[in-house]
Amino acid sequence: MLRRDIALVAITAAVALSVVAHMCFSEESTNPVLIALVQSARFIETRRKEPVMTMMMMMPPRTALPPQQPNEIIITPSEKSEGKQHNQVAAATGGGGGPPSQAVRRKHEALVEACRPEGLAKDANMTDYAALMRARFAEAAKKGNAAKNTRKCRGDRLFAVSPRKDFNGFVAQELVELGLCRARDVYSTGVDFYLGEQFDSDNAPPDDWARHFSPFFNEGSVVGSMPGLMRMFGSKDAYAMIWWRCKDLRKKIDRQDATTTTKAPLCSKLWLPSFNVNGEERKFKEAFRKRKISAEDVPNFDQLFEILSRSKKKLPSYWIVKPQRNTYESRGMHLTKLAARDVASKQALLRWVERSVMDKTCSTNYEKFRCDRRKMSFQYYVDEPLLIKGHKFDVRLWLVITSIDPLRVFVTRHAYPKIASRAFDLDDLGDQCRHIRMLMDPHCDTNPDEFLATFENSAYPKTTASPVFFRAVNDSWVDAEAWWHETVWPAVESAFTKIFMLVRPSLLKLEKAAESRELEEYGTERHRAHRRFGLLSPDLAIDKHGRPFVEEINTNGMIMGTHLRDGGLNDLFTDDGYLRHLFMLLGANGHPDQVRYNASLEAAIDAFCDARHEPCSDAHKGHLRLSVHEEAHAGPHWYRLYPPIPCFGASCAATTEEEEEEDGGASWWPQQARVTGEMRRAMQETPLDVLLREFQQNTDTSKIHGVPQVPGHGRWAPRTYAGLSASP
């Protein structure tokens, strides 16, 4: 078998060489037959001098050509026939193992030499050549874009995305599937939908149209960037500032000098203690080491010392140290231990901060991006975490703010476990693969098969609604699921409801400030009415008692997902519609289902407005329509977090006398985080907030559009696993 495969590869390389002289990177190089020939020789992964056994171990699995984006290729009748020929060649030449013969090596060298003018290095290998050929193939395939878009998308709605691989890949694919077309020239056509980096972030698109009040947003467009969102959540120092703000608010309550509009009721206990270190950034290692940390470098230092010194009995404690900027892929993060001796005096605490700012490994393995940092944030580390098969894990969920005024927020019904590559061990703080780096981070050099073998049937728990997840956390799966529904998820709902209510007034001010700045800079422009949304991806830690704690709220989280079902690594986070329904609830494709229920919706809005003391303007009615369209298109993976979904029917939970008085008899679902009148007063409800709340409390919107509105975690039925079942 081995000799036959070697012979096939030799023949393949010879044929490829015979045509490369005049086809190397001409138009004919996109011929799929040639691509298949080159693809079949991909096992030559290493340089000529590397041992044969090493080369065989590095040999990639047999694969087909990578799929192209649906909007990036068009297949003509002639290409269909070529595709058949390509499949035949691939079937004849696929696979194979073993070392290449000397003849194959010589042909490979000649092949590389022939193509070197096109950008290949002299010592390139066959994989380099195949990669360049595939890139050329993809470039040629893009010529079919116009025809593909004409056939696939409607042409009346255009989208733009950031160049990041998830936005330009999976996100763009979903938008095309919904019928949107990629905007090729925003300055000529405008854009109807945008998702990508925030416009006020360091990674914002460089184009001049990419700003919050741009005239290139078409009427009614939906734009995924909100002024102030980066300032509130996009940097690590913002987390600590929110914690200290709430600490101060609670202190005022204790002193009984708070006003009636205090925001203390909006401060969640699920926010972890944190503090910032704002020292100078240093470019040179020696200067960095000599610089001392002073109390002025640590905001609220005296209060911090007081808090930590009072907690001596709870020491040691553990802290995660994060750069305030550019923490993608956990860069620069590390753990440190705080002992009782470190809080013996203020100077001792300052020396601990100074030692902890920089990762200890920087003394022996200095890396600029990781070690040249002074602006850091310290956050309490949950040192007794809930474990999955002995591994620490975080969970990520998705939230989308669809409106600031009135405030509307949607959340996914489940979170995504991110499991550490190695077993949890608090005695080994230096191994980030036990504590910080999750999901088989490349730095951890994790064997995928060994990692997946940790789980039953080698099945990775895709979501917190998965039976595999509950089975891994607790052998008593049904009980574990009930505990998650009744305890963990309502706490998560409460934490994020409070934080958005807390920062909403600030977001309103920042939005007005951004508009003023742009009007001053672009005074002659006029922007069209459009809607904005903010997509957020928080990470949470769960302790062994089942208490969730918010670790951070990301404004640019990687959108995980694929339609592939190949098993293994490709199947960790298979998307089952959460991204598509996100776009649908946002109205990326115009809320198409509204044609079914528009008449009923208008009748319900008219009835509500007629019964109000104050009349409804056209703008008021527009907000009410939009809130109903969103929930009707949210699909099974999303539900509205704020304003909370009211309960209509016999399954509602009991209400208190205070709630009866505050909400006029509005009912709550069981296991639902409740919003009190005190919380609404702390947020300072706007007239639009009141309008929407009253409409939702007095109108069973599910009867309008026919889509049941039920809050809560993972409510799908039936769910069975290993002979056990759980009802929603």
Q: Are residues 45 and 170 in the same domain?
A: no
Contact 642, 408 (CB under 8 A): yes
Alpha helices in 587-725 (DSSP H): 594-611, 618-632, 657-663, 677-683, 687-698, 702-705
Residue 197: what pLDDT? 92
Residue 65: what pLDDT? 32
C-alpha 16/C-alpha 41 separation (Å) is 10
Q: In this structure, is residue 305 part of a structural domain?
A: yes
Q: How confident is the model at residue 682 (pLDDT cuts 50, 70, 90)?
A: very high
Q: Are residues 175 and 298 in the same domain?
A: no
Q: Are residues 356 and 278 in the same domain?
A: yes
* Cα radius of gyration (the chain): 29
Averaged over 96-121, what is the pLDDT? 45
Residue 28 has pLDDT above 60, yes or no: no
Q: Which residues sit opposite 549 in a β-bridge?
A: 541
Q: Are residues 318 and 204 in the same domain?
A: no
Q: In this structure, is residue 634 part of a structural domain?
A: yes
Three-class SS state of 421: coil
Q: Are residues 287 and 324 in the same domain?
A: yes
Three-class SS state of 600: helix
Angle at 673 between CA 670 and CA 678, to 5 degrees: 125
Averaged over 351-375, what is the pLDDT? 70
**Number of domains the chain contains:** 4
Percent of the chain with pLDDT over 90: 37
CB burial of residue 64 (10 Å; 0-12, 13-18, 19+): exposed
Q: In this structure, is residue 651 part of a structural domain?
A: yes
* Least confident interval from 134-148, 255-269, 293-307, 310-324: 134-148
Averaged over 271-297, what is the pLDDT? 71
The two structure tokens encoding residue 129: 């050549």
Last-in-domain residue among 181, 202, 231: 231
Three-class SS state of 720: strand
C-alpha 325/C-alpha 328 separation (Å) is 9
Averaged over 629-643, what is the pLDDT? 95
Q: Which residue has the higher pLDDT, 412 or 107?
A: 412
- pTM of the predicted model, to two decimals? 0.76
Residue 502 has pLDDT above 50, yes or no: yes
Q: Are residues 288 and 307 in the same domain?
A: yes
Residue 67: what pLDDT? 35
Q: Are residues 71 and 172 in the same domain?
A: no
| Chain centroid to CA 504 | 22
**Residue 131 CA neighbour count, 13 Å, CB half:** 11
Contact 210, 199 (CB under 8 A): yes
The total number of residues shown for the chain amounts to: 728
Residue 6 has pLDDT above 60, yes or no: no
Domain span at residue 205 reads: 153-231
Averaged over 374-394, what is the pLDDT? 89
Residue 531: what pLDDT? 94
* Least confident interval from 167-181, 319-333, 447-461: 319-333
Averaged pLDDT of the chain: 75
Specify which of 61-65, 278-282, 413-417 reaches the highest per-range mean pLDDT. 413-417
| Chain centroid to CA 650 | 37
Residue 374: what pLDDT? 64
Q: In this structure, is residue 370 part of a structural domain?
A: yes
Last-in-domain residue among 126, 144, 162: 144
Percent of the chain with pLDDT over 70: 66
Averaged over 416-430, what is the pLDDT? 86
Last-in-domain residue among 381, 406, 429: 381
**CA distances from residue 543 to 335, 385, 416, 491 in whole angstroms, order as listed:** 17, 4, 16, 13
Residue 468: what pLDDT? 80
The residue to which tokens 């930590």 are assigned: 308
Neighbours of 614 (CB within 10 A): 10
Three-class SS state of 193: strand
Averaged over 39-57, what is the pLDDT? 32
* Least confident interval from 311-315, 405-409, 505-509: 311-315
Name which of 219, 212, 233, 216 is nearest 532 in CA terms.
Answer: 212
Q: Are residues 220 and 323 in the same domain?
A: no
Q: In this structure, is residue 259 part of a structural domain?
A: no
Residue 275 has pLDDT above 90, yes or no: yes
Name which of 271, 541, 569 is nearest 424 in CA terms.
Answer: 541
Give me the numbers of helices (H) and strands (E) for the chain, helices first please: 28, 19
Q: Are residues 160 and 138 in the same domain?
A: no
Residue 294 has pLDDT above 90, yes or no: no
Q: Are residues 129 and 48 in the same domain?
A: yes
C-alpha 429/C-alpha 269 separation (Å) is 26
Q: How confident is the model at residue 470 (pLDDT cuts 50, 70, 90)?
A: confident
Q: Are residues 603 and 662 in the same domain?
A: yes
Q: In this structure, is residue 503 part of a structural domain?
A: no
Residue 191 phi, psi (nearest 5):
-140, 145
Averaged over 489-510, what is the pLDDT? 95
Q: Are residues 14 and 135 in the same domain?
A: yes
* Least confident interval from 69-83, 117-131, 238-252: 69-83
Residue 153: what pLDDT? 67
Residue 625 has pLDDT above 80, yes or no: yes
Q: Which residue has the higher pLDDT, 628 or 88?
A: 628
Residue 366: what pLDDT? 60
**Is the bond leading into 406 cis (omega within 30 degrees of zero)?**
yes
Q: In this structure, is residue 401 part of a structural domain?
A: no
| Chain centroid to CA 425 | 27
What does the pLDDT look like over 52-90, one tens digit per residue?
Answer: 222 222 233 333 333 333 333 222 223 333 333 333 323
**Is the bond leading into 643 cis (omega within 30 degrees of zero)?**
yes
Averaged over 470-493, what is the pLDDT? 83
Q: Which residue has the higher pLDDT, 259 or 308?
A: 308
Q: In this structure, is residue 574 part of a structural domain?
A: no
CATH number at 287 reads 3.30.1490
Contact 126, 39 (CB under 8 A): no
C-alpha 202/C-alpha 147 separation (Å) is 35
Angle at 727 between CA 724 and CA 728, to 5 degrees: 140
